């Protein structure tokens, strides 16, 4: 039996368009699952072969979650505008907004043809100005009863992905950590270094203050360890070792050389100690 994919897929695509089985339901008591893929960039006239690969992988996961009873939000968006779109618009003498709208419409149709279970109407278009109405539910042109509620979807500002790195110089480590958190950053590694600043004061950072960093990025700091301590002078070598060896052999060269300045009592004690060790060696050697 021949598989007439054009007729069969058109039938189901039309049904999906009408019944919206892939829509996330607001207020649904089922557990939630949020599947997200990288938004395609509509700088060309259609999706390229690299787009279906991640789309298919996430589509499999989202379909499984729906079968498991989850309320799945699997949106699609279009990371609109940029240098490729501007170059295309300049080359073809077409306004970038028109180019983007045409490409987005083409992308949406291709997504439907691929059968990916994203809800194209739950799309994010970064080219739409903040505060503009992007669609209505029911759609424009739909016949409704008088007094019916119409839901409007309004564009919101694009979420920032970067932030400015604040200056941490002169702060304590705790204050630096607090300031970084307030700027959606984190404290990275900490290196101690001698300086004339008080102990525990931040004296350096990387990235530098004023530079741009990704949200939740890390900032490494250098902290003062106080002034460098003065070098310790080495101790003078002791001659106690030579005295010890001299006493083993029955005499002490240092004590004998200084006998003229020693007292009579000191001389007798040294002589007694030396003779005792000599007697010990004599008894040991037989």
Nearest to 183 by CA among 147, 134, 217: 217
Question: Can you give the pLDDT at residue 144?
Answer: 74
The more confident residue out of 223 and 99 is: 223
Distance CA 97, CA 127 (A): 8
What CA–CA distances, in Å, run from 162 to 3, 129, 165, 181, 185? Answer: 50, 20, 10, 14, 10
Tokens of 42: 């509509």
| pTM beyond 0.75 | no
Distance CA 177, CA 181 (A): 6
Question: Can you give the pLDDT at residue 263?
Answer: 46
**Kind plus residue range of the DSSP H or E element containing 86:** helix 83-92
Residue 175, pLDDT > 50, answer yes
**Kind plus residue range of the DSSP H or E element containing 33:** strand 32-34
Select, from the ranges 13-27, 137-151, 256-270, the one with the highest average predicted confidence (pLDDT): 13-27
Distance between first and last Cα of the chain: 117
């Amino acid at each position: 039996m021949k598989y007439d994919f054009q007729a069969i897929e058109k039938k189901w695509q039309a049904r999906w368009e009408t019944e919206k089985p892939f829509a996330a339901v607001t207020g649904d008591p089922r557990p939630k699952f949020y599947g997200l893929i990288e938004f395609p960039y509509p700088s060309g006239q259609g999706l390229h072969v690299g787009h279906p690969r991640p789309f298919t992988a996430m589509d499999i996961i989202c379909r499984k979650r729906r079968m498991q009873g989850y309320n799945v939000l699997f949106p699609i968006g279009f990371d609109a505008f940029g240098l490729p779109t501007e170059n295309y618009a300049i080359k073809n003498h077409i306004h970038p907004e028109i180019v983007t709208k045409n490409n987005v419409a083409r992308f949406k149709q291709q997504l439907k043809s691929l059968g990916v279970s994203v809800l194209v109407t739950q799309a994010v278009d970064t080219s739409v100005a903040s505060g503009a109405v992007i669609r209505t539910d029911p759609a424009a042109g739909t016949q409704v009863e008088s007094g019916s509620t119409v839901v409007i979807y309004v564009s919101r500002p694009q979420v920032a992905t970067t932030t400015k790195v604040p200056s941490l110089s002169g702060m304590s480590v705790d204050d630096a950590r607090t300031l970084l958190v307030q700027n959606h950053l984190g404290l990275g590694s900490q290196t101690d270094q001698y300086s004339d600043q008080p102990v525990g004061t931040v004296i350096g950072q990387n990235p530098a203050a004023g530079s741009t960093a990704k949200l939740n990025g890390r900032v490494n700091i250098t902290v003062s360890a106080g002034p460098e301590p003065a070098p310790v002078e080495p101790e003078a070598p002791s001659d106690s070792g030579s005295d010890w060896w001299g006493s083993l052999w029955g005499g002490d060269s240092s004590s004998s050389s200084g006998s003229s300045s020693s007292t009579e009592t000191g001389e007798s004690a040294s002589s007694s100690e030396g003779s005792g060790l000599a007697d010990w060696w004599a008894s040991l050697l037989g």
